[in-house]
Amino acid sequence: MATLHRIDALLGPEDPDRRAQSPSDAEALDAYSRVVTEVARGLAPSVASLRVAHGRRRGPGAVGGGSGVAITPDGFVLTSAHVVADSGRLGSARFADGRELQFTVVGRDTLSDLAVLRVDAGDLRPATLGDAERLAVGQLVVAIGSPYGFAGSVTAGVVSALGRSLPTRSRAATRIVESVIQTDAALNPGNSGGALVDGRGEVIGINTAVAGVGLGLAVPINEATRKILGALMREGRVRRAYLGIAGGGRPLPPRVARELGRRRGVEVVEVVAGSPADRAGVRPEDVIVTLDGAAIEDADDLQRLMDADRIATPIAARVVREGRELTIELVPAELEG
């Protein structure tokens, strides 16, 4: 009996509400549930389940699937480029209201893994595109799509990391999709092309990859991807400039770093034969420190500058070669996708 009294003393007097949630816990749970359900309710009419006939396949597996997000009332739908990679430009989109509409591929960009489709409808409910630049690690996000063909599936989680990179490839060209969003919201095959949504109900990413259990990736909606979407909607393709070099960031020699007031540049590892860089005289082991007046410290800096405005336009590159600084004029060509 004395032992029981000592245990009671340690535990303290019995709290009749101990086994029940405190009001603040209940309110927090309700608030979380309310955000997720409101976001799902608001976005569900905008998210479609895609069925894609793969032209090169026959028999089982000839029909694939994914998800898409309506972005205009008059029929434009956003998805992942790999979802419609082998579609023969045709497929169908089923919406939450039961309509199944045929789509055509307006344009796809493998190097950003984004594609724009068009369905014959004038009354779609478009999603609101947000800005992934405002995201913070730990922020609530909701994924809506059609994993394994189960349309309108909703999962929730948080932004588990920002600033990830996703390598993409198109023929001989490679590119890094920057600022990819990592989330622990459950993603499965079929979620690709679906919406990753913040607590305001704005689409801040397009789900693109399942990198592991509890690890999903989404292409961000930001200034760069909005330009890509605009180009796909207007022209059906994205034009990019091309120099023909492969390289990576490296520290500059101390003396050069002091003289230039910069610690890093991009070392050229390979020059493609016959490319603009080759014709201009760029050599392996050259270190590029500025391009068209902009500082270059890593490959991403170089990639960002290679937009359509620089195609066929002479630009100056400051290069360090064997400890000497020189200026090389390059004329970027258009990257053939």
Find the helix or strand (DSSP H, E) in which 216 lies: strand 215-220
Q: Which residues pair with 264 in a beta bridge?
A: 251
Residue 29 has pLDDT above 70, yes or no: no
Predicted local confidence at residue 149, as pLDDT: 82
Q: Is 82 a catalytic site residue?
A: yes
Q: Is the pLDDT of residue 72 over 90?
A: yes
Domain 18-238 in this protein, CATH class: mainly beta
pLDDT confidence of residue 93 = 95
pLDDT greater at residue 164 or residue 7: 164
Task: Return the exposure string of 306-318: e unless at least 16 CB atoms fall within 10 Å of the residue's CB, then b.
Answer: bbeebbeeebebb
Q: So what's the pLDDT on residue 241? A: 92
Hey, what amino acid is at 130?
A: G
Q: Where are the domains of the chain?
A: 18-238, 241-334
CATH architecture of 241-334: Roll (2.30)
Instruction: Considering the candidates 82, 179, 198, 301, report the single residue annotated as catalytic.
Output: 82
> Beta-carbon neighbour count of residue 121 at 10 Å?
16
Amino acid 247: pLDDT: 85
97 among known catalytic residues: no
Which of 46, 87, 112, 192 is an active site residue? 192
Summarised one tens digit per residue, pLDDT across range 120-163 is 999 999 999 999 999 999 999 999 999 888 888 999 999 999 98
Query: Which residues in 52-85 are b (16+ Cβ under 10 Å) and which e?
Result: bebeeeeeeeeebbbbbbbbeeebbbbbbbbbbe
Token digits of residue 40 = 């799902």
Residue pair 218/181 in contact (Cβ under 8 Å)? The answer is: yes
Band the pLDDT of 17: cuts 50, 70, 90.
Answer: very low
Looking at residue 240, the DSSP 8-state letter turns out to be: B
pLDDT grade, residue 14 (50/70/90)?
very low
Which residue is listed with tokens 């478009």?
A: 126
**Whole-prediction pTM value?**
0.78
Q: Examine domains 18-238 and 241-334 and report if their fold is the same.
A: no
Alpha helices, H only, 194-307: 223-235, 254-260, 276-280, 299-305
